[in-house]
Chain A
Amino acid sequence: MQIEQEAPPTGKETRRTSREARLPGEFETWYVEHRSAVYRYVRFRVATREAAEDVTSVVFMKALRSFDRYDGRKASPRTWLLRIARNAVTDHLRSLKRRGSLHVSLDRIPDLVADVPSHEERVIRQERIQRLLNGSQTLRKADQEILSLRYGAGLDNSEIAEHLDISNNAVAVRLHRALKRLKASVEAAAPDSTDT
């Protein structure tokens, strides 16, 4: 159609101008390698995509500001960034708590889905994800932390062990307990009480 032909190009190359200003080389590498993990970690903990973006922005702003104080002997860049993320999430949730509910509602989580073939299954899975996220918000902080490292940031047990500075076995035990409590929490919640 005519409209398509006249539409301006939408290729990635048209957006590269925004990269003209440069980040410090090493920070650039961190950003490329770990932004996604940070975002997913944050997204697992907060209610909306918009909030996840804002908190992720805060994380990297803080990281950039403190970049010169980073000590590679104490923590890997990812661990360092995820610790900043944990604090940023805590600040965010605290500010929300002052104002109201932490619950997510179904229409606010369209970006969290599982790979399912049909629309119907997708809706069912979204509802299920909503219940899981709501359930996780009722857990103790340590449980939330380990769940978001595992299922948000996508760390494996040894990476979580390094992040939390505990043994692999301790990670397995904590994860097991956290999952058990999450399951109990989800089962205890009436399905219709999760929509707020």
Chain B
Amino acid sequence: MMKDSNAHERGRLPEDLRALDAELSSIRYEERPSFGPELRAELARALAEGEIARPGPVRRYLAAAVVAALLVGGAAVPSARASLVRLMGMGDAPAEVEATPPAEAPAPEASAPEPEPSGPIAAPAAPTFDAPAPIAEPATVVTEPVIVAPRMLDRLQAEELLQSVYPLHLQRRGVGGTVWVTMWVDEFGAPGSASVARTSGSSELDRAAVRAVPRLRFEPATQNGRRTGTWIEFPVLFEPDPERVERTLAPVIDPLSLPTIVESEWWQLRDPLDLEGLPPVAEIGAADDRARAEATEGLRRAVADPAAVDRWGPPEAILGGEAPNDMPPTEWRAAVGAAFDDAIERGTETPVSLLALGRVRIRQGLRAEARSLFERGLQIAIRDPAEASDWVVAELHYERGSLVRDRWRASDGIGRVRSEAFGDATCAPASSSGRAASGFASVERLIAWNYLCPGEMEGIFRGGFDASSSGSAGDLTLMMASLRAALEAYPGHVGANTDLLVTLAERERWSDVLAGSLRFARQSAGHPDALLLAGIALHRLGRSEEAAEHFDAALARMDEMDADELLDISYLLDGAEIARYQRAAPPERRTVEDAFWPTRDRVPATAVNERRVEHLARTAYAKLRFGTVFGDAAEVWVRFGRPNNVHIVDEGTGRLTEFWNYGSGPDITFVRWVSTKRTDLTPEGRAYVDDLGKIFPPQ
């Protein structure tokens, strides 16, 4: 950066000129790093060889044009450049390049290239790529010195390298282009820093090319037989081929569907779980902790300053993308993100650094970029399994699947209600009888009809619900494939097991949930979530006694706070009892519960309290599905159980309106915020739920 030594003199200027002065002073001149040494060498050479009397644009003598199109995606070379591509033969015979000055330059000093038997190709020197001379017509006036351009080595590896940096999300979207890159290749064939000579129009593609090309390998240029450093300029072509994306990730995107997952052999473990013989609680997560600790080494390897990893906080915080409590999260994410970005720039990224960076990006709201990072991590791991542990691979699959899951959940079962569905309805509130111009009923109209004319709603939804905007089967397939891939890499992965089993539970595939949860329990040293899922499935399959055993085993293996949440009976108590219960400490609450449940035992003759088991099945499901037992959706779920059906209406406003149907009476209405995934009762929904509590005390 230029010095700003005149800052004190800026004060003398009027204010508007002070700003201009500061602005001009802030301009940074990014000189090519190699320009200085290059010019210096040329001055010395000119002096030594007596050319100093005829100085000219030095750079042109030294710079040789190397046009070696790197094709990514099997694209054809642009026709305008086709002749130039032959210049290098892409790793075949070396080509001689005559350093002809541009047309406007003074008369060139001439020399004759010495043709080889294979017929070396003469072409104009850099940077006159816009008007290449035809290869078939070598210049009759030739110049000295003769430069044999650098020759690219190992084209296959070069293509693989470029393919690895081509962002997958751009490939999927069909975004491609040609980046012209300028790069120094020194006298040993080592590439220096590269820059974009001509943009592709996509800054991401430009960055990808500039990041990759310094890792190419070259045979150095020669000048009159001597090795020499030189500038080369060449196009890198990124040609999108969405089908190839799928092929590239074939081990990842196995086109699976739900049935094939649960029919596979590894799923079929239906032997009862030996609850007494479960490993000690301390074992839960121990393997994950070890894997996490091992993974931090990958973080250190990626960044330029390994000690920084320790400064950023505990490894689990970095791997989780979560700032430690004593650091401002935004600042922390910026610092960590920049360091891992820098690793990508330097080509030292590791799967685990990409995992951490992706999680930071998710918290910054950059979900598409995060997905691309996870996929890049997987690509590296697939190519070089030593780069990533099974746990890291599973985490990458899981995060990728979670991003798809969120998108799918934001659209699954969603539709709109056609206005004509109201045509036969007999109950017509005057204020809501108008038809929407779009042909679909507004959400306000639906909510009003729901509470004013509940008898009509079932027919309206049946006749008018258009679910054409519902989530794609492709997303569901991809999500499940990612989860399965995570489990195949690391069978005890808690997040992948839970997500997969909850998705199956949503579709009421209880046998499969049971089989999967027993397997999950075995693989995770008896993780409480596995036992809860097994309990839910057993309850739904009518095996209450076994369900109770699994719930109790799960409660015994989780910490007190989580257990307290699942055991909570606030939703089942009356007004005065609720306050007293909630004020009590956990041990006292257990006493209240012990007294409460026998009063609700539907079949006292059996060994198990069916109502308590049902309550635990509901709280457990609410906890796993909504993340907490204490939200509005969880409250309705716990109080009233699974709805008969749910209609979700989207008006494209970033919020979804859910209609939960419980048979007679109005549907219970919620608003779900797509951005935060939070689900709240609508005002009418809240009033209705409170009324239900008064009219029908909890049973």
The answer to whether B24 touches A57, judged by C-beta atoms less than 8 angstroms apart, is no
Q: B43 to chain A: which residues have CB within 8 Å?
A: 23, 31, 60-61, 64
Q: A113 to chain B: which residues have CB within 8 Å?
A: 27-28, 30
Q: Which residue of B lies closest to A182 (CB)?
A: B20
Rounded to whole angstroms, the CA-CA distance of A39 and B68 in the bound complex is 30
Q: A36 to chain B: which residues have CB within 8 Å?
A: 31, 36
The answer to whether B20 touches A179, judged by C-beta atoms less than 8 angstroms apart, is yes
Q: Which residue of A lies closest to B350 (CB)?
A: A1
The answer to whether A119 touches B203, judged by C-beta atoms less than 8 angstroms apart, is yes
Q: A154 to chain B: which residues have CB within 8 Å?
A: 2-3, 5
Instruction: Determine whether B494 belongs to the interface, using a CB cutoff of 8 Å to chain A.
Output: no
Given contacts A39-B31, A49-B32, A157-B9, contact A147 B24 (CB under 8 A): yes
B20, B25, B53, B196 pick with most chain A CB within 10 angstroms: B20
The answer to whether A61 touches B26, judged by C-beta atoms less than 8 angstroms apart, is no
Determine how close the nearest CB of chain A comes to the CB of B71; give it in whole angstroms.
17
The answer to whether A3 touches B44, judged by C-beta atoms less than 8 angstroms apart, is no
The answer to whether A39 touches B29, judged by C-beta atoms less than 8 angstroms apart, is yes
Given contacts A53-B35, A61-B43, A64-B43, contact A15 B186 (CB under 8 A): yes
The answer to whether A112 touches B28, judged by C-beta atoms less than 8 angstroms apart, is yes
Instruction: Determine whether B271 belongs to the interface, using a CB cutoff of 8 Å to chain A.
Output: no
With beta carbons under 8 angstroms apart, the residue of A4, A17, A43, A180 that contacts B29 is A43
Residues of chain B from 652 to 686 with CB closer than 8 A to chain A in the complex: none
The answer to whether A14 touches B40, judged by C-beta atoms less than 8 angstroms apart, is no
Instruction: Determine whether A19 belongs to the interface, using a CB cutoff of 8 Å to chain B.
Output: yes
Q: A157 to chain B: which residues have CB within 8 Å?
A: 6, 9
The answer to whether A10 touches B191, judged by C-beta atoms less than 8 angstroms apart, is yes
Instruction: Determine whether A9 belongs to the interface, using a CB cutoff of 8 Å to chain B.
Output: yes
Q: A151 to chain B: which residues have CB within 8 Å?
A: 2, 24-25, 27
The answer to whether A21 touches B217, judged by C-beta atoms less than 8 angstroms apart, is no
Contact with B along A4-37 (1 / 0, CB 8 A): 1011111000110111111110000001000110
Instruction: Determine whether A150 belongs to the interface, using a CB cutoff of 8 Å to chain B.
Output: yes
Instruction: Determine whether A50 belongs to the interface, using a CB cutoff of 8 Å to chain B.
Output: yes
Rounded to whole angstroms, the CA-CA distance of A60 and B29 in the bound complex is 19
Given contacts A39-B29, A40-B2, A61-B46, contact A14 B55 (CB under 8 A): no
The answer to whether B187 touches A1, judged by C-beta atoms less than 8 angstroms apart, is no
Determine how close the nearest CB of chain A comes to the CB of B180; give it in whole angstroms.
11
Determine how close the nearest CB of chain A comes to the CB of B11; give it in whole angstroms.
11
Given contacts A57-B58, A61-B58, A154-B3, contact A31 B32 (CB under 8 A): no
The answer to whether B39 touches A56, judged by C-beta atoms less than 8 angstroms apart, is yes
The answer to whether B27 touches A183, judged by C-beta atoms less than 8 angstroms apart, is no
Q: Which residue of A lies closest to B49 (CB)?
A: A21
The answer to whether B104 touches A99, judged by C-beta atoms less than 8 angstroms apart, is yes
Determine how close the nearest CB of chain A comes to the CB of B181; give it in whole angstroms.
13
Contact with B along A42-60 (1 / 0, CB 8 A): 0100000110011011101
Q: B347 to chain A: which residues have CB within 8 Å?
A: 1, 4
Rounded to whole angstroms, the CA-CA distance of A14 and B191 in the bound complex is 10
Rounded to whole angstroms, the CA-CA distance of A82 and B52 in the bound complex is 20
Determine how close the nearest CB of chain B comes to the CB of A1; give it in whole angstroms.
6
Instruction: Determine whether A115 belongs to the interface, using a CB cutoff of 8 Å to chain B.
Output: yes
Rounded to whole angstroms, the CA-CA distance of A20 and B46 in the bound complex is 13
Given contacts A8-B188, A150-B6, contact A54 B17 (CB under 8 A): no
With beta carbons under 8 angstroms apart, the residue of A10, A18, A152 that contacts B37 is A18
Rounded to whole angstroms, the CA-CA distance of A6 and B24 in the bound complex is 44
The answer to whether A112 touches B190, judged by C-beta atoms less than 8 angstroms apart, is no
Please tell me the number of chain A residues within 8 Å of chain B, measured between CB atoms.
63
Instruction: Determine whether A164 belongs to the interface, using a CB cutoff of 8 Å to chain B.
Output: no
Determine how close the nearest CB of chain B comes to the CB of A53; give it in whole angstroms.
5
A15, A24, A40, A114 pick with most chain B CB within 10 angstroms: A15
Instruction: Determine whether A110 belongs to the interface, using a CB cutoff of 8 Å to chain B.
Output: yes
Given contacts A154-B5, A157-B9, contact A19 B37 (CB under 8 A): yes
Q: A8 to chain B: which residues have CB within 8 Å?
A: 188-191, 217-218
Instruction: Determine whether B528 belongs to the interface, using a CB cutoff of 8 Å to chain A.
Output: no
Contact with A along B90-133 (1 / 0, CB 8 A): 00000000000000100000000000000000000001000000
Instruction: Determine whether A193 belongs to the interface, using a CB cutoff of 8 Å to chain B.
Output: no
Rounded to whole angstroms, the CA-CA distance of A172 and B216 in the bound complex is 51
Contact with A along B180-200 (1 / 0, CB 8 A): 000000111111100110110
Determine how close the nearest CB of chain B comes to the CB of A17; give it in whole angstroms.
5
The answer to whether B28 touches A17, judged by C-beta atoms less than 8 angstroms apart, is no
Instruction: Determine whether B137 belongs to the interface, using a CB cutoff of 8 Å to chain A.
Output: no
Q: B60 to chain A: which residues have CB within 8 Å?
A: 54
Given contacts A1-B164, A151-B2, contact A15 B37 (CB under 8 A): yes
Instruction: Determine whether B576 belongs to the interface, using a CB cutoff of 8 Å to chain A.
Output: no
The answer to whether A3 touches B161, judged by C-beta atoms less than 8 angstroms apart, is yes
Determine how close the nearest CB of chain B comes to the CB of A14; give it in whole angstroms.
5
The answer to whether A15 touches B39, judged by C-beta atoms less than 8 angstroms apart, is no
A8, A43, A112 pick with most chain B CB within 10 angstroms: A8
The answer to whether A18 touches B41, judged by C-beta atoms less than 8 angstroms apart, is yes
Q: A132 to chain B: which residues have CB within 8 Å?
A: 23-24
Instruction: Determine whether B627 belongs to the interface, using a CB cutoff of 8 Å to chain A.
Output: no
Instruction: Determine whether A73 belongs to the interface, using a CB cutoff of 8 Å to chain B.
Output: no
The answer to whether B1 touches A115, judged by C-beta atoms less than 8 angstroms apart, is yes
Rounded to whole angstroms, the CA-CA distance of A60 and B229 in the bound complex is 20
Q: A7 to chain B: which residues have CB within 8 Å?
A: 190-191, 214-217
The answer to whether B215 touches A4, judged by C-beta atoms less than 8 angstroms apart, is yes
The answer to whether A14 touches B186, judged by C-beta atoms less than 8 angstroms apart, is yes
Q: A1 to chain B: which residues have CB within 8 Å?
A: 161, 164, 347, 380, 383-384, 387
Instruction: Determine whether A111 belongs to the interface, using a CB cutoff of 8 Å to chain B.
Output: yes
Rounded to whole angstroms, the CA-CA distance of A152 and B27 in the bound complex is 9
A-B complex: 3 closest residue pairs judged by Cβ atoms: A61-B55, A18-B41, A21-B44
A-B contact pairs, 16 of them (CB 8 A): A1-B387, A7-B191, A10-B186, A15-B229, A18-B40, A22-B44, A43-B31, A49-B32, A57-B55, A64-B52, A110-B30, A111-B29, A151-B2, A152-B29, A179-B13, A183-B17
Q: Interface residues, chain A, CB within 8 Å of chain B?
A: 1-4, 6-10, 14-15, 17-24, 31, 35-36, 39-40, 43, 49-50, 53-54, 56-58, 60-62, 64-65, 95, 99, 107, 110-115, 119, 128-129, 132, 147, 150-152, 154, 156-157, 172, 176, 179-180, 182-183
Q: Interface residues, chain B, CB within 8 Å of chain A?
A: 1-3, 5-6, 9, 12-13, 16-17, 20-21, 23-32, 34-48, 52-53, 55-60, 104, 127, 157, 160-161, 164, 186-192, 195-196, 198-199, 203, 214-218, 228-229, 347-348, 380, 383-384, 387
Q: Add 20 more A-B contacts to A10-B192, A19-B44, A113-B28 (CB < 8 A).
A: A1-B161, A1-B383, A1-B384, A8-B218, A15-B187, A21-B41, A23-B47, A40-B31, A54-B58, A57-B57, A64-B47, A95-B104, A110-B195, A110-B196, A115-B1, A156-B5, A156-B9, A172-B9, A182-B20, A183-B20
